[in-house]
Amino acid sequence: MHSHRLLITLLALLCVTLASVAASELIGGDTSPPEPSPPGAIAPPKSERAAANTASFSLAALDRFSSVTERPLFSPTRRPSARAADGSGAWSSFALAGIIITSQSREVLVVHGKPPSVAHLTEGQAVEGWTLRAIYPDHVVFGDQFNEHELKLIDKTAPSSASAPRPPPRRAAP
């Protein structure tokens, strides 16, 4: 029983010690000894010493990171895709202009590229490295080797909240 109390006391002492160290770090206490100053000189305040010890951070030039794009981490071959190398295939340039579904066919109109051009596609066809995998009444699914993206059709006939007519203002009762 006596050893149990001793263990609890030691653990409590350890907790108090660690809490005081953490508190001094949070408050910004500088535990390093002050630098020696020449005789007769006045030492700078503690806050100035701390500011002098912190190094400023600046990011290296981007060309120093070219190996990241030359050997992409998540590519199985560690080589950039042809689409990344020639700049084509940017998913953000795609917009779904229309979906045509009949009993005989399923087709879509996709605006893509810069300058924008319209592609008329059916399932299985590709544009800028993205293959049209599925056509649904309100969206389509494009994919490549690694990714799949859903492109939704925007209903341009629905009134937006900004253009909706406002009700007339109410007048106060006399």
Does residue 171 lie in a domain region?
no
Q: Is residue 130 part of a domain?
A: yes
| Contact (CB, 8 A) for 151 and 142 | yes
Around 131, how many Cα atoms within 13 Å sit in the side-chain half-sphere?
8
Q: What's the pLDDT tens digit per position in 51-88?
A: 555 567 676 776 676 666 666 666 677 666 555 544 44
Q: Tell me the residue range of the domain where 142 lies.
A: 86-152
Ranked by mean pLDDT, which of 46-50, 57-61, 94-98 comes out on top? 94-98
- Looking at residue 86, its pLDDT comes to 47
In a domain, 99, yes or no: yes
pLDDT greater than 90 at residue 133: yes
Q: How many domains does the chain have?
A: 1
Classify residue 46: in a domain, yes or no: no
pTM (global) more than 0.75: no
What tokens does 49 get?
A: 């010493």
The rounded percent of the chain whose pLDDT value lies above 90 is 12
Which CATH number belongs to the domain containing residue 129 in this structure?
Answer: 2.30.30.830
pLDDT at 135: 93
